Amino acid sequence: MVVALVAQSPSAAKSRDAGWAQPALSEVFQGHRAAFPKGSRASLAMGGDGGTWGLESILPSPASLWPLEQVSGELCKCCGVWKAHWSQVAKSSPGSSSNTESHELSHSKLTFPAPPEASPPTRLSWDTGPATAATETQQQEVVWRQHVHRYRRSCCSRGAMGPGCASVLGWLLLAQAALQVTGGRPCDAKDFGHGSPVCACSATYCDTLDPLVLPAPGSYIKYESSKAGKRLERSEGSFQHNAKSPDFHLTLDTTQRYQKVKGFGGSITDAAAINIQSLSKAAQNHLIRSYFSEEGIEYNLVRVPMASTDFSIRLYTYADAEGDFELRHFNLTEEDTHMKIPILQAAQAVAKRPLSLYASPWTSPVWMKTNGAMTGRGTLKGSPGDKYHRAWAKYFIRFLDEYAKHNLTFWAVTAGNEPTAGEIVFYPFQCLGFSPEHQRDFIAQDLGPALANSSHRHVQLIILDDQRVMLPYWAEVVLKDPVAASYISGIGIHWYLDFLAPIDLTLSITHHLFPDYFLLSTEASTGSYFWEPRVVLGGWERGSKYSHSILSNLNNYVTGWTDWNLALDMQGGPNWSKNYVDSPVIVDSSKDVFYKQPMFYHLGHFSKFIPEGSQRVGLAVSKKCHRCDLEHSAFLRPDGAIVLVVLNRSPTDVSFGISDPHVGFIEAVAPSDSIQTFLWKQPA
């Protein structure tokens, strides 16, 4: 919560015993103008005894800047005036001589009400903006940020509000008012010449969002991102009741209910972990919070590869000892214990929503495979029910066992990543071939019983985990077997061959054939085709492609959408087979920075606002809009709020209307190349 400070006028100062007078706008004090290094952060610790307050550094500035060297202050108990003193040491370069400058923020410039006696400490902090150069300073308006600590004076509990309580109440009311006109930290935009900016993050700065607060009844909030540079920019508006409807409008119908949403997220590959850990601890924290915390886009799904993928720097499994059918030598690797597991634990620590982890293997150990190699055409030796298939099923259980030792439990596993890849001769990276018949029998005889008879019987099983062009055929083969079907919960799909498979002839048909099994998009990435550039920093169209896929999937009964690598380097790797792709987050470890791409914000328009348990509802279109390119989907959240996502992929602005018969009408405009998320409450 961002709080502005107040400079009292002389008349207000005289009425101090009655608490702070309501300040005029001209009296709002935006902070003492002083030279602070960009990227620095400091906090004010307010003691509860009415005595000395101190200012302490949270993140030290580089030595070449002007750090706050000493800060002290005194608080007058009778008048509530705080006097601050600080000194700065100016250093032109590390090791050079320094000059100390002293400053005083005096009684006439800034006053605070006295804090209540015996109250717990309250902490404020300021941020001075993104660092752009190692020696740059800027005259900044200090913006104070209140962290949520509540306190109470004993006199208030007796029913009387003394001067101190009135002062505190005034201070808190001011804080609340300031919240309406301020937000999270803005994007530190960088333009790499690809049509739209990226947002740069470092150890000292990263853009953030405020936690979602739903609007009052009769109002709505809108978050907008655009090719022109907006990034989840928040605005508010009110429903109308007598507005003339545009020719093109969307009408909500909550009586029509469809699938419930599982969530949105990405994959913690070895490459993602390597890139995240290549950053400083502070920058790592910003990256993890950007994805998983309330100040970020609040992912709740994480796909975890079981051992290596092409996005590893070496080929390995957890049971490479020849002929180890009992898996006595099964072991997680350093990629798990030192990389993926610590990152998953950090993500859980900052996430408000529970994370749902699901695991996918790329290949079995080579001694189990017909071709004796991790790549190329090959499947499991033998046949379902034999020692090879039992050992492979046990491999899943051992993986879940080992992660559970690190307090990481899984929502689901897939039967295997892209089983059709292992049917391709000379396939270039890890794979394990299965036909639908083979997968059906392996699940019925081996994997299903192994899960059901283990301590992981709650873990759900997902079939296919491959291109949707295989549907509905794959589902028909596997799910029409009652034994196999009894162990299965859902169907996973990838997006790479979507252009070959009309969505209504694959996903919709599969849902209607097997309505009790969820559909989940388990992998997607851009820059994967051989004719495409791998990494495009600021590629808006790649974000639009993500949102188009998500909306199309959601409108055809898919329950969630999972991106591929959480983070990659500037080349789109590392990847041992040089199968580089793009990512929503690109890391430049040489500068200790990472770039949040348009794809990141497109994903956030869904992941942050459509939590698990939301249900897609009806959205009627007044007429087909041939000259525009609006795509949309609406949801009822578990808290009763409505979410509407609107994507405009056209190069022109589009006027449209939104009608909720229970609330009113919104006149809206979707700017060219933009995505918007609307949220509002319906009457109880």
Q: Which stretches within 191-328 are classed as H helix? A: 270-277, 281-292
How many angstroms separate the CA atoms of 340 and 337, rounded?
A: 7
Closest-CA residue to 86 (of 70, 73, 75): 70
Q: What is the pLDDT of residue 78?
A: 40
C-alpha to C-alpha distance for 663 and 528, rounded to whole angstroms = 44
Distance CA 636, CA 644 (A): 9
Domain range 263-608, CATH class: alpha beta
What pLDDT was estimated at residue 622? 86
Task: Work out the number of other CB atoms within 10 angstroms of the CB of residue 95.
Answer: 9
Taking the whole predicted model, whether its pTM rises above 0.85 is answered as no
In this structure, what token pair is assigned to residue 212? Answer: 């979602």
Pairing between strand 198-201 and 144-146?
unpaired
By annotation, the residues acting in catalysis are 418, 523
Q: What residues does 84 pair with on adjacent strands?
A: 73, 105
Residue 674 tokens read as: 């933009």
Average pLDDT over residues 458-469: 99
Q: Do 597 and 543 touch, CB atoms closer than 8 A?
A: yes
pLDDT value, residue 420: 98
pLDDT given at position 107: 30
| Alpha-carbon gap, residue 369 to 391, rounded angstroms | 12
What's phi and psi for 494, nearest 5 deg?
-110, 165
Residues 611 and 349 sit within 8 Å (Cβ to Cβ)? no
What's the mean pLDDT in 292-296? 98
pLDDT in tens, 92-119: 333 433 343 333 333 323 333 333 333 3
Residues of the chain with CATH 2.60.40.1180: 213-258+616-681
Mean pLDDT of 302-318: 99
What is the mean predicted confidence (pLDDT) over 340-362? 99
**Above 90 in pLDDT, residue 403?**
yes
Percentage of the chain modeled with pLDDT above 90? 70
For the chain, residues classed under CATH 3.20.20.80 are: 263-608
pLDDT at 14: 32
Average pLDDT over residues 444-463: 99
The region of weakest confidence among 27-31, 196-200, 545-549, 609-613 is 27-31
- Confidence class for position 146, pLDDT limits 50, 70, 90: very low
Is the separation of the CB atoms in 562 and 264 below 8 Å? Answer: yes
For 213-258+616-681, which CATH class? mainly beta
Whether the predicted pLDDT of 87 surpasses 50? no
pLDDT at residue 670, as a whole number: 97
- Mean pLDDT, residues 408-430: 98
Q: What is the pLDDT of residues 537-585, one digit of tens each?
A: 999 999 999 999 999 999 999 999 999 999 999 999 999 999 999 999 9
Question: What letter represents residue 312's amino acid?
Answer: S
For the record, the structure tokens of 265 come out as 């997220």
Query: How far is CA 273 from its chain centroid?
Result: 16
The C-alpha atoms of residue 576 and residue 267 are separated, in whole angstroms, by 17
124 beta partners: 44, 146
Q: What is the pLDDT of residues 595-626, one digit of tens each?
A: 999 999 999 999 999 999 999 999 999 876 66
Greater confidence (39 vs 649) lies with: 649
The number of beta carbons lying within 10 Å of the beta carbon of residue 97 is 7
Which residue, chain included where needed, has tokens 């292992």?
A: 422
In this model, does residue 140 exceed pLDDT 70?
no
How many CB atoms lie under 10 A from the CB of residue 278? Answer: 17
Please identify which residue in the block is written with the tokens 């993050």: 201
Q: 591 pLDDT band (50/70/90 cuts)?
A: very high
Q: Are 364 and 299 in contact (CB under 8 A)?
A: no
Mean pLDDT of all residues in 252-279: 99
Q: In angstroms, rounded to a whole number, what is the distance separating the alpha carbons of residues 603 and 408? A: 25
Closest CA to 357 of 306, 419, 311: 306
So what's the pLDDT on residue 184?
87
**What CA dihedral angle connects 22, 28, 29 and 30, to 10 degrees?**
140
Q: Of the candidates 500, 478, 504, 502, which has an alpha carbon nearest to the alpha carbon of residue 489?
A: 478
CA-based torsion, 364, 368, 372, 377: positive or negative: negative
C-alpha to C-alpha distances, 526 to 417, 493, 556, 670, nearest whole angstrom: 18, 16, 22, 25
* Distance (Å, whole) CA 566 – CA 548: 20
Q: Minimal CA–CA distance to 272: which of 206, 344, 200?
A: 344
Distance CA 413, CA 149 (A): 41
The β-bridge partners of 313 are none
Q: How far apart are CA 284 and CA 281, in angstroms?
A: 5
**Integer-rounded Cα radius of gyration of the chain:** 28
The pLDDT value given to residue 552: 98
CB-based contacts of 73, cutoff 8 Å, min separation 6: 52, 53, 54, 55, 82, 83, 84, 85
Q: Is residue 590 pLDDT above 50, yes or no?
A: yes
Q: Is 399 left (phi over 0), alpha (psi -120 to 50) or beta?
A: alpha
Mean confidence (pLDDT) of the chain: 81
Instruction: Mean pLDDT check: name the lowest of 18-27, 226-235, 370-379, 398-407.
Output: 18-27
The predicted-structure confidence for 311-328, as pLDDT tens digits, reads as follows 999 999 999 999 999 999
* 369: DSSP letter: B
Judge contact between 264 and 561, C-beta under 8 A. yes
Encode 348-363: b = buried (16+ Cβ within 10 Å), e = exposed: bebbeeebbbbbbbbb
Residues of the chain with pLDDT > 70, as a percent, come to 72
